[in-house]
Structure 1
């Protein structure tokens, strides 16, 4: 594991391997991979296994507002790593990390900020 991987892991916290994410969403692992391809979820390899941040799934659903935010970040040219860092890095003006604001149903503000970064 690289130092960069450790940094991302420290920011993100918990990860769900694809099989666990599929079980949590009651879909197939292939559906999770499709959601990743469609920028509805972000997935990275952790210990050789494709995984998504555990914070992206709450009560059996993808967090409301996350897919739209991920699409904006992808459209702005963010790599998966850059998007993860941005989502999980605390921002005093929100307050908290963007993922925390999305979890608190403040996704519109998060997407507005993401769009502004592209300008």
Structure 2
């Protein structure tokens, strides 16, 4: 079993995070499934106060991974971006979007976010 990739905690302290147990409970799945989602680049975790956590904004109100997030992460991983760089990019405001890429994904503007992620590869 491969190690879970962990990003540096580049998030603002005010960003709400969930423990892996909380994510698992919201998914109605065991923690091992959340760990596999992290290994499969469907989510990104950081270590905060000694515990692995995931930004709550990565989950929808229906307790699913935000549509387009796994694909965007995969595009950036394949382009050589580290988990920390991906997290920083997702949470950096872009006036031309407008807002942060993660907000655009939540707002059903995933196609534009993915296009921008693909453009970063070149």
Structure 1 contact 16–51 (Cα < 8 Å) conserved: yes
Aligned length: 114
Other-structure match for 2:101? 98
- State which of 22, 40, 43 in structure 1 corresponds to 2:42: 40
Structure 2: how far apart are the matches of 1:75 and 1:12?
Answer: 30
Matches within 5 A, 1:3-42: 5=9, 8-10=10-12, 13-42=15-44
Per-residue CA deviations over 1:30-59 (Å, capped at 9, x if unaligned) read 100100000011112111111111001112
Q: TM-score, normalised by structure 1?
A: 0.90
Query: What SS is found at the alignment partner of 1:61?
Result: coil
- The runs of 5 or more residues in structure 1 that have no matched partner are none
Distance 1:106 1:98 in 2: 9
Q: Which has the higher helix share?
A: 1
1:85 aligns with 2:85: no
> TM-score with structure 2 length normalisation?
0.88
Change (3 A) 1:104 1:12: farther
* Residue in structure 2 matched with residue 71 of structure 1 by the alignment: 74
Preserved contact between residue 11 and residue 88 of structure 1 (Cα < 8 Å)? no
Counterpart in the other structure of 2:4: none
Root mean square deviation of aligned Cα: 1.4
User: Structure 2, unaligned stretches of length 5 or more?
Assistant: 1-7
